[in-house]
Amino acid sequence: MTNDQRGKFISNDLIIGAFLAIVAVIFLAQAVNFRGISRYFPTMALSLFLILSLCEFGMGIRKTLRVRRGLADDVNPELKARPFTLFGLMCVYVFCIQHIGFFVTSAIYLPVAMLLYGQRDSKKIVPVTIGVLAFLYWMFVIQMKLHMPNAWLF
């Protein structure tokens, strides 16, 4: 690590610890107001969660200071954009299933996702799309009579 990198280093544990501690406080504030004995277990679990978040925060501070003082080397994991793009695509996919329909949306999602992953051979994309959807339809709609979501299309 360069000196500049060391000087600017903030351990992800610090950020994670702080974020989780805030989340714990938000939910703990709700849990303590639950009626009667129903508040005991969530309060206990969230209190433990808060304590451990603070421990994580403390460990993050320690790591940050050690790196900045040159006493240790550490790197934060690199988060790339592609998984988040996929996450966004999955969200769109689920949203569309609810409103358009499972099979129509999946018939669009499968080839798009395969292309996004780098598949370029249409001789694989088309049969896989048709085959998977046909199998799911036969197995779960016909045989097991699974009730598909009510949507605009099928």
Partner 1 sequence: MTIANTILAIFQIQVLLYTLLGIVLGMILGALPGFTGSMGIALLIPITYTMEPVAALVMLMAIYTAGIYGGSISAILLHTPGAPSSAATADDGYALTVQGRGLQALGVSTVCSSIGGFMSGIALIFIAPWLAKICLIFGPAEKFMVAVFGLTIIGSLCSGGVVKGLLAGTLGLAISCIGVDAQTGYPRFMYGNDYLASGLATIPVLIGLFSISQIFLMSETHTGSNKAIVDTALSKLHGRLLPTAKELGKLLIPTIRSTIIGIAVGIMPGAGGDIASFLAVNVGKQSSKHPDEYGKGSMEAVACSETANNAVSGGAMIPLLTLSIPGAPTAALLLGGFTMHGLIPGSELFTKHADIIYPILSGFTFSNVLMCVIGLLAARYIARVVSIPMSILAPVITVMATLGCYSVNLSFLDVWAMVIFGLLGYLMVKHKMVTSPIVLAIILGPIAEQSLLQSITLSRSTFILLYYLSRPIVLVMVALSVFSIVWTVIREKKVKKA
Partner 2 sequence: MRKIVALLFALSLTLASESTKTSSAADTYPNRPITLTVLSAAGGSYDLGIRLLLPYVEKELGTSINVVNNDAGNGWVNWLGCYKAKPDGYNLYTTNFPAFFSCYDPEMNHTQRWDDFAYICNFCTDANILVTRKGHEINTVKKFLDYCLNNDDVVIAVTVTGGDDHIAYLKVLDAIPELADHTTPMHANSPLTQELLGGFVDFMICNVGNLTSLGDNIEPICVFSDRRDALAPDIPTFNEECVALGYKDVNVNSATNRGLIMPKNIPDDIQKKIVDAFVKGMNDPQCKQDFRNNHLGWNCLSGDEYIELIKREDAFYQATIMPLLGW
Instruction: Give the interface with partner 1 as residue ranges (CB under 8 A).
Output: 12-13, 16, 20, 27, 30-31, 34-38, 40-42, 45-46, 48-49, 52-53, 55-56, 59, 77, 79-80, 82-83, 86-87, 90-91, 93-94, 97-98, 102, 106, 109-110, 113-114, 116-119, 124, 128, 132-133, 136, 139-140, 144-147, 149
Q: How far is the CB of 68 from partner 1 (least distance, A)?
A: 20
122 φ/ψ angles, rounded to the nearest 5 degrees: -70, -20
Separation CA 31–CA 53 (nearest Å): 17
* Residue 123 vs 147, nearer CB to partner 2: 147
DSSP letter (8 states) at residue 37: G
Q: How far is the CB of 143 from partner 2 (least distance, A)?
A: 14
* Residue 123 vs 145, nearer CB to partner 2: 145
Burial class (CB in 10 A: 0-12, 13-18, 19+), 93: middle
Nearest Cα neighbor of 16 from 24, 27, 4, 8 is 24
